[in-house]
């Protein structure tokens, strides 16, 4: 029988604790101070300061999306909200909030020193990004989010906001007995306290407990789930924190995938495609083939699709037919995942049938206008964008002399935790979820909308906390101690089993890596750009068994392995949710959309189902298209009594009841927006 003495743990008290130090988390901390919460009442806990996506990702021209404020271009928050919703499965009020606050957050970043380009009149010029009908996008180059992170971190340090680095948040403390469940704290592991011995008491002594009125989860996307990934290696994510707390999740079927190099994780978008590189694959015995020539009917079509891939980087299920640019991703996926070949982009040679005269006019005109004509892709790239070559040479990769290995990689999760307009969980009060882990986006989104949503979310959470009774409400100490004690007891029981090396009778012992491999293989098979129904249901049963027996099948050799164990446990539960969402999407007769193609054996007459048939040697794929429009619905999932509850909710419209100044002013002075109805 295990017992737990809560007094052996030091308890840190704050008004608000933010988990994660990416662009979203840091920005929220700053806004809390700006809105009046003293900096010593705020803390950031992070497993890796300087790690995560914001500080380490980038792309050809990393984009920030906002309302257009340039020249004679007419734009409005309402127009922008419509374009955010255009992808489908997005709530209109959330879109309007992201649109309305985009300028406030953009100028906050400008103020902090992010050098967004402006002209002689001070106008912040924009360009068109994917899914953007105007020219709302801006960028400072390949490393926009990294610069945002640097500027935000400097400001956080100037405000002396405490940062607990190398702290892994493992449990949100929720008072379930309150009228409505509410967050009251969290439990973390301090990495520095983990020892090499194997002992439950020393392991428990690495725990740190936070008692806090508000918890803000800003842990980023669930990068750990995918083998082929363009997320930086330092980003893993911890979506299960929110799942276990009882949050509702939404749109988990909607992720973003695209072509990226794998040795150095980098999107091969923009100029990397516009110079028409040669694609080839290698089998185990290094036999080479230019597989795209078996898919496209002519070099002209191939050059058109390759060129367009530069702009149309994310995989898009509507760009398969008509020799669209996403046919390239599909062919690369088939070569790598199905045929187990390696795929490379070669800048030293032209595609086999390359002929400048037969280059598609769209590519020929662009390369001519850009003075980027050259004998080989590398010469064209050097003229078009020298920087693109340097990005790789800085990583020790010389694309002028060696081919670049690529794959179809996971890049972003559009879905995530479902929250209200203050980015507060719909199901747990005082629990806010911001940044990529918040699932505000729909099926597809304009490029750059992720960074905007992350900043707006932090602002909204801070406003609610600072201007409602969340700023100074206290937590009942007895309830806190009871909840904490219960959770600590549960942790101690499970960890004791993990440390015992008694082989279980019925279960095969797995290493943490074995289990992670199984998880990532399942995600590759069922949850990337191709989503087959066949086999998925039985795979989910296997996962269910693994969830029930994880403490018995994994054994720890030393205390330091606890973090890897918690990460794999997080992945197990999170991918369970993803695959349940996909299975339900199949059972709801969902069609191919956004970043994925649906594979089912039978066609349903009642929905006029038909196949999308790719050309060439990909013709055996039969992807489903039908007339069922789910774009005004959002699939939600919640963990209740160890079951996943799945519902489809209607999307909310974009509000159009815009206020009258005198009334809005009065309400603002009364802080009406922050009071319960």
Ligand X SMILES: Cc1cc2nc3c(=O)[nH]c(=O)nc-3n(C[C@H](O)[C@H](O)[C@H](O)COP(=O)(O)OP(=O)(O)OC[C@H]3O[C@@H](n4cnc5c(N)ncnc54)[C@H](O)[C@@H]3O)c2cc1C
Binding positions for ligand X, rule: CB under 6 A:
19-25, 45-48, 51-54, 57, 59, 62-63, 145, 168-169, 218-220, 230-231, 235, 237-238, 267, 411-412, 435-436, 447-451, 454
CB of residue 188 to ligand X, shortest distance in Å: 7
CA atoms of 671 and 677, how far apart (whole Å): 12
φ, ψ of residue 432 to 5 degrees: the values are -110, 150
Return the number of the residue (220 or 439) whose C-beta is nearest ligand X: 220
Return the number of the residue (19 or 372) whose C-beta is nearest ligand X: 19
CB of residue 303 to ligand X, shortest distance in Å: 26
- Cα separations in angstroms, 672 against 79, 182, 420, 461, 663: 26, 22, 16, 16, 11
CB of residue 213 to ligand X, shortest distance in Å: 19
Return the number of the residue (292 or 451) whose C-beta is nearest ligand X: 451
Return the number of the residue (321 or 564) whose C-beta is nearest ligand X: 564
**Long-range CB pairs of 672-677, under 8 A, 24+ apart, other chains included:** 674/463, 674/464, 674/467, 674/468, 675/468
**Closest by Cα among 496, 492, 505, 506 to 555:** 496
Return the number of the residue (145 or 385) whose C-beta is nearest ligand X: 145
Centroid of chain to Cα 603: 32
**Closest by Cα among 568, 523, 520 to 546:** 568
Return the number of the residue (277 or 448) whose C-beta is nearest ligand X: 448
**Closest by Cα among 384, 361, 388 to 374:** 384
CA dihedral 356, 361, 362, 364 (to 10 degrees): 30
Return the number of the residue (51 or 415) whose C-beta is nearest ligand X: 51
φ, ψ of residue 240 to 5 degrees: the values are -65, -20
For residues 21 and 234, the answer to whether their CB atoms sit within 8 Å is no
Return the number of the residue (268 or 295) whose C-beta is nearest ligand X: 268
CB of residue 189 to ligand X, shortest distance in Å: 9
**Closest by Cα among 611, 607, 608 to 598:** 611
Return the number of the residue (153 or 471) whose C-beta is nearest ligand X: 153
CB of residue 58 to ligand X, shortest distance in Å: 6
CB of residue 577 to ligand X, shortest distance in Å: 16
Pure H helices in 527-631? 536-553, 562-587
Return the number of the residue (59 or 528) whose C-beta is nearest ligand X: 59
CA atoms of 205 and 210, how far apart (whole Å): 14
CB of residue 673 to ligand X, shortest distance in Å: 25
Residue 281 pairs in a beta bridge with 289, 343
CB of residue 275 to ligand X, shortest distance in Å: 20
Task: Decide: residue 241, CB within 10 A, 0-12 exposed, 13-18 middle, 19+ buried.
Answer: buried
Q: Are strands 530-532 and 597-599 parallel, antiparallel or unpaired?
A: parallel
CA atoms of 589 and 626, how far apart (whole Å): 9
Return the number of the residue (133 or 535) whose C-beta is nearest ligand X: 133
Return the number of the residue (323 or 423) whose C-beta is nearest ligand X: 423
CB of residue 167 to ligand X, shortest distance in Å: 6
Q: Are strands 266-267 and 137-139 parallel, antiparallel or unpaired?
A: unpaired
30-53 burial by CB neighbour count: b if 16+ within 10 A, else e? bbbbeeebebebbbbbbbbbebbb
Return the number of the residue (21 or 350) whose C-beta is nearest ligand X: 21
Residue 14 pairs in a beta bridge with 212
Return the number of the residue (527 or 618) whose C-beta is nearest ligand X: 527
How would you write 375-392 as a 3-class SS string?
A: CCHHHHHHHHCHHHHHHH
**Closest by Cα among 620, 528, 611, 579 to 333:** 528
3-state class percentages of the chain: helix first, strand second, coil last, to nearest 5:
40, 20, 40
CB of residue 129 to ligand X, shortest distance in Å: 8
Complete DSSP assignment for 246-296: T-EEE-TT-EEEEEEETTTTEE--THHHHT-PEEEEE-TT--EE-GGGGTS
CB of residue 54 to ligand X, shortest distance in Å: 3
CB of residue 84 to ligand X, shortest distance in Å: 12
Return the number of the residue (159 or 289) whose C-beta is nearest ligand X: 159
Helix (H/G/I), strand (E/B), else coil: 412: strand
């Amino acid at each position: 029988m295990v017992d737990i003495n809560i007094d052996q743990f030091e308890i840190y008290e704050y008004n608000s604790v933010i988990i994660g130090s990416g662009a979203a988390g840091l920005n929220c901390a700053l806004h809390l101070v700006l809105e009046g919460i003293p900096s010593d009442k705020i803390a950031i806990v992070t497993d890796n300061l300087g790690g995560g996506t914001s500080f380490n990702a980038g792309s050809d021209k990393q984009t920030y999306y906002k309302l257009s404020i340039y020249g004679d271009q007419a734009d409005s928050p309402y127009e922008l909200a419509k374009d955010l919703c255009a992808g489908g499965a997005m709530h209109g009020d959330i879109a309007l909030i992201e649109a309305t606050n985009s300028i406030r957050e953009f100028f906050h970043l400008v103020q902090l020193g992010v050098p967004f380009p402006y002209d002689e009149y001070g106008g912040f010029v924009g360009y068109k990004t994917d899914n953007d009908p105007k020219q709302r996008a801006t960028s400072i180059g390949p490393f926009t989010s990294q610069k945002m992170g640097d500027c935000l971190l400097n400001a956080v340090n100037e405000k002396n906001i405490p940062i607990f680095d190398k702290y892994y948040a493992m449990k949100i403390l929720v008072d379930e007995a309150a009228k409505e469940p509410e967050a009251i704290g969290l439990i973390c592991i301090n990495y520095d306290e983990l020892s090499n011995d194997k002992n439950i008491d020393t392991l428990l002594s690495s725990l740190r407990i936070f008692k806090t009125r508000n918890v803000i989860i800003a842990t980023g996307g669930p990068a750990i789930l995918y083998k082929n990934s363009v997320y930086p290696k330092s980003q893993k994510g911890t979506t299960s924190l929110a799942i276990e707390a009882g949050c509702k999740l939404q749109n988990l079927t909607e992720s973003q995938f695209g072509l990226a190099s794998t040795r150095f994780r980098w999107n091969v978008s923009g100029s990397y495609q516009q110079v028409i590189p040669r694609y080839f694959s290698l089998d185990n015995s290094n036999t080479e083939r230019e597989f795209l020539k078996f898919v496209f009917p002519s070099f002209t079509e191939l050059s058109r699709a390759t060129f367009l891939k530069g702009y149309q980087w994310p995989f898009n299920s509507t760009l398969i037919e008509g020799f669209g640019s996403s046919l390239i991703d599909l062919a690369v996926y088939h070569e790598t995942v199905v045929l187990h070949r390696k795929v490379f982009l070669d800048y030293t040679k032209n595609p086999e049938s390359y002929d400048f005269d037969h280059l598609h006019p769209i590519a020929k005109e662009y390369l001519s206008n850009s003075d980027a004509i050259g004998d080989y892709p590398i010469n064209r790239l050097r003229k078009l964008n020298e920087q693109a070559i340097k990005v790789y040479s800085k990583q020790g990769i010389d694309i002028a002399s060696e081919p670049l290995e690529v794959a179809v990689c996971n890049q972003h999760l559009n879905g995530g935790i479902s929250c209200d307009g203050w980015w507060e969980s719909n199901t747990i009060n005082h629990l806010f979820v911001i940044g990529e882990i918040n699932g505000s986006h729909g099926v597809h989104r304009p490029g750059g909308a992720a960074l905007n949503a992350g900043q707006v979310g932090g602002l909204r959470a801070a406003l609610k906390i600072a201007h409602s009774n969340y700023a100074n409400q206290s937590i009942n100490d007895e309830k806190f101690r009871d909840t904490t004690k219960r959770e600590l007891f549960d942790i101690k029981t499970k960890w004791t089993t993990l440390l015992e090396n008694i082989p279980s009778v019925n279960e095969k012992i797995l290493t943490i890596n074995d289990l992670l491999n199984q998880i990532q293989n399942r995600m590759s098979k069922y949850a990337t750009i191709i989503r087959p129904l066949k086999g998925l249901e039985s795979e989910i049963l296997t996962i269910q068994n693994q969830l029930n027996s994880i403490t018995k099948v994994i054994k720890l050799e030393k205390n330091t392995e606890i973090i890897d164990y918690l990460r794999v446990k997080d992945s197990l539960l999170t991918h369970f949710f993803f695959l349940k969402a996909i299975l339900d999407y199949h059972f709801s007769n969902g069609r191919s959309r956004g970043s994925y193609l649906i594979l089912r054996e039978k066609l349903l007459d009642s929905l006029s189902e038909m196949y999308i048939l790719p050309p060439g040697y990909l013709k055996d794929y039969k992807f489903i298209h039908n007339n069922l429009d789910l774009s005004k619905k959002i699939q939600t999932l919640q963990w209740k009594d160890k079951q996943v509850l799945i519902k489809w909710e209607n999307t909310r419209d974009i509000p159009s009841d815009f206020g009258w100044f005198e009334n809005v002013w009065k309400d603002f002075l009364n802080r009406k927006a922050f009071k319960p109805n």
